[in-house]
Amino acid sequence: MITSVELGNFISHSQTKLDFEEGVTVFVGHNGAGKSSIIDAITFALFGEHTRKSNKSLIRRGTSQAYAKVNFTLNGKQYQAERKIDAKGTLGAQLFEIRNGQAMPLASGERKQFGESMTGEIESRIGLDFTKLKVASIVQQGELNSIIKAKPKEFKELLNAIIGIDKLDVASEQLKIVQKNFRQIIQQKIGYDDTHIEILTKEITTLNDEMKSAEPQKLQLQEKKETEELELEKIRQKIETESPKEAMLVQIEQRKGELTKYARDAILLIQRNIAEKERKIQACQGCFQYADAKDNLEFKLQKTEIKIEDATKKIQDLVEKVAILKEQESLAKKLQLQNGKCPVCDSSVEHLRPIFQIEHLRQERQNAEAQIQTLEQEKQQSTKEKKEASEKLQKAIMAKSTLDAHSIQNMEQIEAIRAEVEAQKTQIKIPSTVNTEGGLLEFASIDSHARVMYETISGLEEQVFGFNQNEFEKLKIDLGQKRREISQIDQKYGAITEKIKRADERITKINSVLSELNLVKKYLLQIDDIQSSVYGRDGPVATSLRSWALMTISSKASEYLDALNTKIHRIALSEKARDITITCYSKNNPIDIDSLSGGEQVSVALSLRLGMAHLLGASNLNFIILDEPTAHLDEERRRALVRVLSHLSDISNRITGPLQFIIITHDAEIFEDSSVEKIYKFESSEDGTRVALL
């Protein structure tokens, strides 16, 4: 139940606070007075949703931010939800639980990627999201009959949410999680789960077929191997003494190749190192003379720029002076003495003031022009010096960047690198041939590993000294061929033997796994049965709950229709397949909803909503907002509506909690003789909406 709503600079409200109680609260006032803004304030504070075009349109004109705060109770607990919006569109949201007068934070913000969602917290506590809440409990102006216009499937989803069948979905999802976790545990324990039973069974059949076909091949290879080994023994006795030396010759050539490759690779690596260091020396050795002058060049460039700027200013001043002198000179020509008298006042004067003497002005102008020429020459010279300094500074910057790129700070480092290069150059030497003793010795000098390889080759050569390869070539070929044949037989025999062994082990393991998986499958099938029969939306539990709810809503809606005095005597809600259908009756004759008048459709919609409210009173959600519910109703039905609402607000003795209605209407007069005591009047003013309790 909502206990209070507070608005600050919200739409048309400057500062408004409304207190609510159980039962019926009425808002009256003209259009545009700010009545419906209360709905936007409630939905914005709870869910961040509203009917305006954008969040910024919630801010009262002429202000920079707005807020809406809603205090409400759920299951005996007090909560406070507040959201703010500023001119930049920045949103703030907080949800508190009020305990002993203290606000305990529960959630803030909407950073869902971090698991933070105030809206999600409110949805879980109320039991409905904004969309379902809007359809069930917030009837906007002109939308009263939307419930009878809703699609059958949408009506069913709403009903599921109202009677708590959504909680079955939660339990069903939990069972799915249990199944998933159980499968993961089994997967981790034995490497498989019940989905692999068919695959493993097929694998056993395949393995048995492979073992059956492999046994004759194994026996045949065993017999052939024994025959070949007898022939091999005869050849071996002939070359037993010399054959090891033959192998040594092959090994010697192999080791020589390895030594050659290793030495060449090592030399190439050293050469690349040398080349890299030489490039670094070449890039850096000439940079210090430029880099060291960088600060002086920057100072000189700055000084030159100031000099150019000063010369430019002086030239401009002198140019203006020359122009003035030319004008004065022109004037002076007209003011020459005539017979010792002034040409203006005709008085006798001995001489004119210098500013009117042509020669004086001409001399002043020539002096100024000479200064301009001198300054222009100085400016050109300074510009040339600036260009030279800029070019040198660019070189200095590039030189400094080069040194920094190579981590070089002084010439000592370059000299140290040059010394390393010279040392490495003396270390390497590629021999002209690798088949001579000298060539191998040169390779051996590369490093300790090359020396060990060389010594190994020398030792092998000593062991085969005096061996005549031509005499044993044929025996070697025969022996090698025979060994290859026996080796191939061994490989085939070993492969078949290993194949049979692994197949047998695999079958034993799979049988053990299947024994456990069959128990797992039986357990999971039992969970599936529970999920479909107990927690399924269309299972017997959910169907029974919906049947009870439909019967209750139908009964209560019919009572409200009777109070509204319409030609419709009964409403019946029924579930068919996956949809909920609405049927109206006049006595026992069904009536098509589309054939009803506008007022009758509103009466049906209102009755259904009130019937659903009877159920909602026993859940977390226990308030209904009706915006202009009397539209399209005649005077008699309007007053009947008031009686129904008053009656509904007094049924708290028969349900777990009180019901709350917020009515927004123009028709204040219909509540004059009712039991409704809390009526707020809304009026527009220059300072925003004014609200007064009548």
Q: DSSP state, 470?
A: G
CA dihedral 627, 629, 630, 633 (to 10 degrees): 150
289 and 378 in contact (C-beta within 8 Å)? no
Written as one letter, the residue type at 141 is Q
Q: Three-state SS for 577? A: coil
Backbone angles phi, psi at 601, to 5 degrees: -65, -40
Lateral strand order in the sheet of 579-586: 570-576, 579-586, 589-591
According to DSSP, the residues that pair with 580 across neighbouring strands are 575
For residue 17, what is the enclosing H or E element?
strand 13-19
Q: What is the pLDDT of residue 9?
A: 95
Contacts of 425 (CB under 8 A, 6+ apart): 274
Query: What secondary structure, in 3-state letters, does 378-407 show?
Result: HHHHHHHHHHHHHHHHHHHHHHHHHHHHCC
Q: How far apart are CA 626 and CA 664, in angstroms?
A: 6
Reading the block at residue 417, the tokens are: 């690198």
Question: How many beta carbons lie within 10 A of that of residue 289, not counting itself?
Answer: 11
Low-confidence ranges of the chain (pLDDT < 70): 112-115, 135-136, 141-146, 150, 161-164, 166, 335-356, 427, 429-439, 613-621, 632, 644-658
Reading the block at residue 527, the tokens are: 């969970």
pLDDT digits over 432-466, tens only? 444 445 567 777 777 788 888 888 888 888 888 87
Burial of 320 (0-12, 13-18, 19+ CB in 10 A): exposed
What letters, b where the CB count within 10 A reaches 16 and e where it falls short, cover 559-595?
bbbebbebebebbbbebeeeebebebeeeeeebebee
Give the residue from 366, 288, 277 showing the smallest Cα distance to 321. Answer: 366
Reading the block at residue 464, the tokens are: 């085969």
Reading the block at residue 426, the tokens are: 């003396």
Q: How far apart are CA 443 and CA 431, in angstroms?
A: 8
Reading the block at residue 492, the tokens are: 């085939």
68 and 6 in contact (C-beta within 8 Å)? yes
Q: How far apart are CA 269 and CA 277, in angstroms?
A: 12
- CA 583 and chain centroid, separation: 48
Contacts of 595 (CB under 8 A, 6+ apart): none
Give the residue from 534, 528, 545, 540 showing the smallest Cα distance to 156. Answer: 545
Reading the block at residue 397, the tokens are: 């910057």
For residue 499, what is the enclosing H or E element?
helix 473-530
194 and 521 in contact (C-beta within 8 Å)? yes
CA dihedral 492, 493, 494, 500 (to 10 degrees): 110
Please, what are the domains in the chain?
2-127+620-693 (3.40.50.300), 178-242+468-537 (no CATH), 288-407 (1.10.287)
Angle at 543 between CA 542 and CA 547, to 5 degrees: 115
Q: How far apart are CA 399 and CA 384, in angstroms?
A: 23
Give the residue from 665, 669, 680 showing the smallest Cα distance to 606. Answer: 665
Tally of CA atoms within 13 A in the half-sphere of 83 that contains its CB: 26
Q: What is the pLDDT of residue 350?
A: 54
For the chain, give percent helix, strand, coil, nearest 5. 65, 15, 20
Q: Three-state SS for 127? A: coil
Q: Three-state SS for 458? A: helix
Rg of the chain on CA atoms, in Å: 52
Sign of the CA dihedral with 157 first, then 160, 162, and 165 last: negative
Burial of 135 (0-12, 13-18, 19+ CB in 10 A): buried
Reading the block at residue 497, the tokens are: 């033997």
- The CA-based diameter of the chain, rounded to the nearest angstrom, is 157
According to DSSP, the residues that pair with 692 across neighbouring strands are 681
Written as one letter, the residue type at 255 is R
Q: How far apart are CA 253 and CA 62, in angstroms?
A: 95
pTM above 0.75, yes or no: no
* Region class of 126: left (phi > 0), else alpha (psi between -120 and 50), else beta: alpha
Task: Provide the terminal-to-terminal Cα distance of the chain, rounded to the nearest Å.
Answer: 22
Q: How far apart are CA 275 and CA 281, in angstroms?
A: 10
